[in-house]
Amino acid sequence: MGTLQNLSTRHPIWTFVVLVLVVGLAWLILAPWPPDLEQAMGRKRVFLNAILSGITLGALYFLVASGFTLVFGLMRNVNLAHGSLYLLGGYIGYGVAEVTGYWLLAFPVVFILVGAVGLLLQHQVFRRMEGEELRQTLVTIGISIVLADLMLWFWGGQSYQVLSPDWLSGPMTLPLVSSISANGEAVYLSYPRVRIAILIAATVIGLAMWFALSRSRLGILIRAGVDDRDILAASGVRIQYVFLAVFAFGAGMAGMAGIVGGTFQSLSPGEDTRFLLASLVVVIVGGMGSIPGAALGAVIIGLAEQIGLVYAPTYSVVFTFLIMAAVLAFRPHGLLGAQH
């Protein structure tokens, strides 16, 4: 929160602009639209759907990117196998849900299994390459190639869809007005229940992470380590344990995100690349090693993608790219990244 105060005092104009945008957006979402606005921008229901899809997609991106940003911020390891861990978690989660019939059970199982893979990688591989950042990254590339092919071999090239449990399927009504019906009554938006559930879960997880990072001893160490590696070495804590914990956690999160992605969308070869790229962009935009940054970046990118998809489908990629390029040009370390 201190950073936000800092930012707002130092850049009053930008803060004002952002405030105006936020208020404007809030009005667009909450207030019923007058007919002229509907003429210009299409139906409010479409807009609301785009916004909500953007935010829920952002929740998914946050789940994937949070592990990536912590690993990079703390260990300076660009883990290009992160997407493979996502997909692996998704496939395993699919298997667990199919076999046991319990969707929720997939989460802890996947967290443990994929987390164990992460633990193994950090302990057996990356620990021996301490300080050789490029080499570590090259290794992650090799691992991603190998994992991708193994997964293709084992699960084949078809799409898998993780079915959401009965108690989460179907639509729910949100307290958002989508239109006014002919007799003057407000019509409320209905939206898939599972997506809202994931949004809530991601928010809870995000808050828990942020809380842990700012209050717990381990968390404070991690944040200090992200800012300055030497502090960590000097603190007397066995850094290797911290690294192991962070990498395993990041891998576990990616795996769980795979289950979510498999529920929202689907799992197939190529999704690993897609979510790796999403993590990259989220972290470039939001800032390295920053959980709030990952959240901010994820929401921005999720919204940009969905709004672009709905209103300018051929150019949605360009939006994302322009956002990324703008951040790189004006704040090269990301919106909430530390200036080294």
Partner 1 sequence: MAHVLPATAPGRLVVLEGIPAPVWGIGLLLLLMPALANNFVLFQIFGWSFILGMIALSLMVLAGYGGMVSLIQMTVGALAGYVVAILGTSGVPQISLGWPWWLYIPLAILIATLFGTLVGTLAVRTEGIYTIMITLAIAAAFFYFTRQNYTIFNGYTGFNNVVPPALFGVDWRQPVPFYYLTLGCATLSYLAVVWMARTPFGLALQGVRDNPRRMSALGFSVTAHRILAYSFASVIAAFGGILLVWQNAQVVPGTAGIPQVIDILVIAVVGGLKRPIGPFIGALIYAVLSVFSSDILLAFGMSGERFKLVVGLGFLAVVFFSPDGVLGLWQRWRARMQRSSRDLRPGGEMAS
Q: Is 274 exposed, middle or buried (0-12, 13-18, 19+ CB in 10 A)?
A: middle
Which residues share a beta bridge with 177? 188
For residue 28, give both structure tokens: 């667009």
CB 320 within 8 A of CB 304: yes
**SS3 of 334, please?**
coil
Interface positions, 70-99, toward partner 1 (CB under 8 A): 72, 76, 78, 80
Is 317 a binding residue for partner 1 by CB under 8 A? The answer is: yes
* Tokens found for residue 2: 């201190």
- Residue of 335, 317, 253, 306 lying closest to 56 (CA atoms): 306
Q: Is 324 in the site for partner 1 (CB under 8 A)?
A: yes
C-beta separation of 151 from 267 below 8 A: no
Positions 124 through 143 that interact with partner 1 (CB under 8 A): 133-135, 137-139, 141-143
| Measured distance CA(223)–CA(70) in Å, rounded | 9
328 interacts with partner 1 by CB under 8 A: yes
β-sheet bridge partners, residue 267:
160
Closest distance of CB 8 from partner 1, Å: 25
Stretch that binds partner 1, among 56-64, 150-158, 201-209, 257-265 (CB under 8 A): 150-158
Answer yes or no whether residue 24 interacts with partner 1 by CB under 8 A. no
- Stretch in the footprint of partner 1 (CB under 8 A) among 26-34, 163-171, 182-190, 310-318: 310-318
Long-range contacts of residues 146-151, Cβ cutoff 8 Å, at least 24 apart: 147/81, 147/84, 147/85, 147/88, 147/272, 148/84, 148/87, 148/269, 148/272, 151/84, 151/87, 151/88, 151/91, 151/269, 151/272
Q: Which stretch binds partner 1 (CB under 8 A): 146-154, 206-214, 225-233, 243-251?
A: 146-154
Q: Which of 59, 291, 320, 336 binds partner 1 (CB under 8 A)?
A: 320
* 277 is an interface residue for partner 1 by CB under 8 A: yes
Q: Closest CB to partner 1 among 138 and 187?
A: 138
Per rule CB under 8 A, is residue 283 in the interface with partner 1? Answer: yes
Q: At what angle do helices 193-215 and 239-264 cross, to 10 degrees?
A: 170
**Interface with partner 1 includes 333 (CB under 8 A)?**
yes
Contacts 24+ apart (CB under 8 A), 228-236: 229/76
Q: Quick check: 150 binds partner 1 (CB under 8 A)?
A: yes
Task: Work out whether 178 is an interface residue with partner 1 (CB under 8 A).
Answer: no
Q: Residue 167 or residue 321: which is nearer to partner 1 going by CB?
A: 321
Query: Pick from 325, 335, 336, 338: which binds partner 1 (CB under 8 A)?
Result: 325
Which residues of the chain form contacts with partner 1 (CB under 8 A)? 72, 76, 78, 80, 133-135, 137-139, 141-146, 148-150, 152-153, 273, 277, 280-281, 283-284, 288, 313-318, 320-321, 324-325, 328-329, 332-333, 340
